[in-house]
A and B are shown apart, each in its own frame.
Chain A
């Protein structure tokens, strides 16, 4: 068993992931500034490109305060859970087809587990532990409310998320993310790429909405709703522990876009690439690039949604979760089953 290969992959993926997180924060600040007719950070380095470095340095030098009444162990554990879960979800995501280099075949995913989809679901629901534990251990009413909200939100949206995925499962009949992507490689009627978004638009919408709730992004960011809860679950965090939550939120965003891309936008598939006659190596690299571009577009979508839609009220959130999303997800399964039987 070769251990070097996975290690190199892990190092590469972590490196790229963390760099992207840093620059995602920058991108979010810039895009939001443009939306509000401002300029955004543009002082540190050319076009403000060194801003993330400055931010991280600042976070490291800040005082780390633990409240006297807090449960110190859980208080320090919670941000770690958040970040580790956010980063480790990436392990099963295929970011390219098999690549042939130096006489070896490399599969461009860290762990090719046969229950990739289940692993993904399991980890994404684990992430809520970080938030709930941080809310509880801070011994602060606002933090606790944030943590509780987060867990309630998770329960109501996890269901519709799981049910939306079943649609994908039914048409690709595999839990392996690799196979789900390969399955999206054909064409519908010869010109539309057979991505799952075109096969099940309803399931895609419910999944994306549920994943927004799962990552606590803006229309559903009730766990940290600033106007009501001070800072929500991270009220009592400072310094790099707060930084870890911050990183986790953005790492979650990247993972979410990667999952959405893999399940619904054809993963690393580059439509019609076989018609151009590139060499196999170039094809593999272009596919990786296609995956990156798709993720970037989904991330941009995440950012623009955040600066467009106001936050839901808590009862509205629950209403949508149970009365709209759940029936829609079930309807999606019924429709998919109907078409499979046809």
Chain B
């Protein structure tokens, strides 16, 4: 077997005008000059903020319905989490669901925003929100307990609707 010689494939030869080069430069320059007067794409960040669509996977949150979390502490999310970011400790409760998470902690330094927890959750209790401003000055701040994770259902309704429509 012999290697085929690599050849330059050119569909057609350049015309004289193209080989003169100067007209092509002028063409290119008119393009760049025209681009100068088109609107910019930049978002001026601290003043203007990006409003993500419902499909955006921001930080995971626990849905709070009627003042209680939906979570039944089954521990599936913690099992499926590829980054081992979730820690759940179950406890008993008088409510109908019988189990609730005594402790629910997500280490936001470990979280990779894959959304597996949301996918695997049988109760639609943990979902990805639209919040994306997650910068910490020390690792302790990145441990999100129930106090930070619980979010009233009204605030995440768009995401829930999105999930329903894509089931």
A residues contacting B by CB (< 8 A) are: 31, 33-39, 205, 304-305, 307-309
Contacts and interface: CB of A to CB of B under 8 A. Distances in A.
B22 A39 contact: no
Given A34-B37, A39-B40, A304-B33, 16 more contacts: A33-B40, A34-B40, A35-B35, A36-B35, A37-B35, A37-B38, A37-B39, A38-B42, A39-B42, A39-B44, A205-B22, A307-B32, A308-B25, A308-B32, A309-B25, A309-B28
A38 B40 contact: yes
B41 interface: yes
A304 B32 contact: yes
Interface of B: 22, 25, 28-29, 31-33, 35-42, 44
A309 B32 CA distance: 10
A205 B22 CA distance: 9
A37 B41 contact: yes
Nearest to B27: A308
Given A39-B40, A39-B42, A309-B28, A34 B22 contact: no
Nearest to B25: A309
16 contacts: A34-B35, A34-B36, A34-B40, A35-B35, A36-B35, A37-B35, A37-B40, A38-B42, A39-B44, A205-B22, A304-B29, A305-B25, A305-B29, A308-B25, A308-B31, A309-B28
B22 A308 contact: no
Contacts of A39: 40, 42, 44
Contacts of B33: 304
Contacts of B36: 31, 34-35
B28 to A, nearest CB: 5
A259 B141 CA distance: 61
Contacts of B42: 38-39
A244 to B, nearest CB: 30
- Interface centre among A31, A34, A205, by most B CB within 10 Å? A34
Contacts of A307: 32
A39 B38 CA distance: 11
A37 B43 CA distance: 12
Nearest to A320: B21
A205 B25 CA distance: 12
A302 to B, nearest CB: 12
A31 B29 CA distance: 13
- Those 3 A-B pairs whose CB atoms lie nearest each other, nearest first: A34-B36, A39-B42, A308-B28
Nearest to A30: B36
Contacts of B38: 37
A308 B30 CA distance: 9
Nearest to A31: B36
Nearest to A219: B25
A51 to B, nearest CB: 16
A308 B29 contact: yes
Nearest to A300: B33
Contacts of B41: 37-38
A240 B138 CA distance: 35
B34 to A, nearest CB: 9
A220 to B, nearest CB: 13
Nearest to A33: B40
B50 to A, nearest CB: 15
A116 B148 CA distance: 75
Contacts of B25: 305, 308-309
Nearest to B26: A308
Contact of A35 (B32, B39, B44): B32
A33 B40 CA distance: 9
B18 to A, nearest CB: 15
Contacts of A35: 32, 35-36
A300 B40 CA distance: 20
Contacts of A36: 35
A35 to B, nearest CB: 5
Contacts of A33: 40
A38 B39 CA distance: 8
A204 to B, nearest CB: 12
A212 to B, nearest CB: 11
A31 B35 CA distance: 10
A33 B25 CA distance: 20
A309 B25 CA distance: 7
Nearest to A36: B35
